[in-house]
């Protein structure tokens, strides 16, 4: 573990209204959240805890890395003694827990690693946060905990029926987090979001993968039929959602962070081919697509209702055409 932040010694400097611990902050979504928090909340100290796994990059945070209200600490959520020390020294008020193993394909191969990091690591973190009497603990989960559906729209009370090791580990971690509310009224909040896209996403995920393949004149590889549909939210909209939950999310509650905008993977490939290869010819587009074996399980859709988030005043704003253009130019 190492602290790397403008020479600041361990321990909380005085003068910050809140001290927010963001885990996994060198990853895709949390890095966007940290940049917004550091810029928009100068009276909050933002502490980024990340073990710098293969998908992490501190470059995502270059614009704010020298700010007085930001600190990076390299470390692992699966190390209880270190995590206890962190809460003792940093006097954390709020936790936003993003750190996880996140790639569904890898979860079929390294399932136990997903259980270890996502379930055990989350338990270590929530337990230490409880001991430290943190005032709010936000656990970032996923729509995948619902399993797939063709027409039923999931709301927050729908049963969890995960169908892959990644989703199962996120669902199991939710149970541990929720149990701290049930047992102790420890103020936890759980979010379940749709697929997120935008700049800085590691190119193992479908949108940056297809963009990167096409930019290197290689074909988009589509799992199975390509008819599976996914809801896509732009990163800036998701940042707004987390800031809303931070301010207004109620203890013990679960919030779906979703969008009605959905697209099949085959259609996604088509749109990216049009954008990057600048063609509308159907036969030319077919040349940029390769159908490969499907995953052991691949849910058809994750339709979700997000009325609870709408009730807090959040709605996604960035249109797909604008978001995907910004993402592909990055």
Ligand X SMILES: NC(=O)c1ccc[n+]([C@@H]2O[C@H](COP(=O)([O-])OP(=O)(O)OC[C@H]3O[C@@H](n4cnc5c(N)ncnc54)[C@H](O)[C@@H]3O)[C@@H](O)[C@H]2O)c1
Residues with catalytic roles: 143-144, 166
DSSP structure class, residue 304: B
194 vs 288, which CB is nearer to ligand X? 194
Q: What does the block give as tokens for 282?
A: 């159907």
Q: Where are the alpha helices (DSSP H) in the chain?
A: 28-40, 80-90, 104-109, 111-114, 121-131, 165-184, 206-215, 235-248, 265-277, 282-286, 307-311, 320-329
Least Å distance, CB 49 to ligand X, is 6
Least Å distance, CB 40 to ligand X, is 19
The residue ranges that bind ligand X (CB under 6 A) are 23-24, 26-30, 50-53, 55-56, 76-78, 98-100, 102, 117, 121, 140, 142, 170, 193, 195-196, 202
Least Å distance, CB 248 to ligand X, is 20
Spatial CB neighbours of 82, under 8 Å, sequence gap ≥ 6: 1, 75, 76
C-alpha 56/C-alpha 73 separation (Å) is 13
257 vs 288, which CB is nearer to ligand X? 257
Phi, psi angle pair for 31, to nearest 5°? -65, -40
DSSP structure class, residue 150: S
* Cβ-closest position to ligand X: 27
60 vs 288, which CB is nearer to ligand X? 60
Least Å distance, CB 122 to ligand X, is 9
Beta bridge partners of 4: 72
166 vs 180, which CB is nearer to ligand X? 166
Using alpha carbons, select from 263, 314, 266, 316 the residue that is nearest to residue 289.
266
Using alpha carbons, select from 111, 227, 229 the residue that is nearest to residue 170.
111
Least Å distance, CB 124 to ligand X, is 9
279 vs 298, which CB is nearer to ligand X? 298
Handedness of CA 215, 322, 264, 208 (dihedral sign): positive
């Amino acid at each position: 573990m190492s602290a790397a932040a403008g020479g600041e010694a361990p321990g909380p400097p005085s003068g910050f209204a809140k001290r927010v611990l963001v885990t996994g902050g060198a990853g895709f979504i949390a890095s966007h959240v940290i940049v917004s928090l550091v810029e928009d909340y100068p009276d909050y100290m933002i502490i980024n805890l990340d073990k710098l796994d293969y998908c992490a990059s501190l470059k995502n945070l270059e614009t704010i890395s020298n700010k007085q209200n930001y600190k990076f600490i390299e470390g692992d959520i699966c190390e209880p003694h270190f995590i206890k020390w962190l809460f003792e020294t940093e006097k954390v008020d709020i936790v936003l827990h993003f750190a996880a193993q996140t790639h569904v394909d890898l979860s079929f191969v390294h399932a136990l690693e997903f259980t270890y990091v996502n379930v055990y690591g989350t338990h270590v973190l929530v337990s230490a946060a409880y001991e430290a009497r943190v005032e709010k603990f936000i656990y970032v989960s996923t729509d995948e905990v619902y399993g797939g559906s063709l027409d039923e729209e999931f709301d927050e009370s729908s049963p969890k029926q995960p169908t892959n090791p990644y989703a199962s580990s996120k669902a199991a971690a939710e149970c541990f987090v929720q149990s701290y509310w049930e047992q102790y009224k420890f103020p936890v909040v759980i979010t379940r979001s749709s697929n997120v896209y935008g700049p800085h996403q590691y190119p193992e995920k479908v949108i940056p993968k297809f963009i990167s393949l096409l930019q290197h004149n290689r074909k988009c590889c589509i799992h199975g039929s390509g008819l599976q549909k996914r809801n896509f939210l732009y990163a800036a909209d998701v940042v707004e959602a987390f800031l809303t939950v931070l301010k207004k999310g109620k203890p013990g509650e679960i919030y779906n962070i979703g969008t009605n905008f959905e697209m099949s993977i085959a259609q996604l490939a088509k749109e990216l081919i049009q954008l990057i290869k600048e063609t509308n010819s159907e036969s030319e587009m077919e040349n940029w697509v390769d159908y490969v074996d499907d995953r052991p399980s691949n849910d058809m859709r994750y339709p979700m209702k997000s009325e609870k988030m709408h009730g807090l005043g959040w709605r996604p704003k960035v249109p797909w055409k604008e978001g995907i253009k910004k993402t592909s130019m990055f």
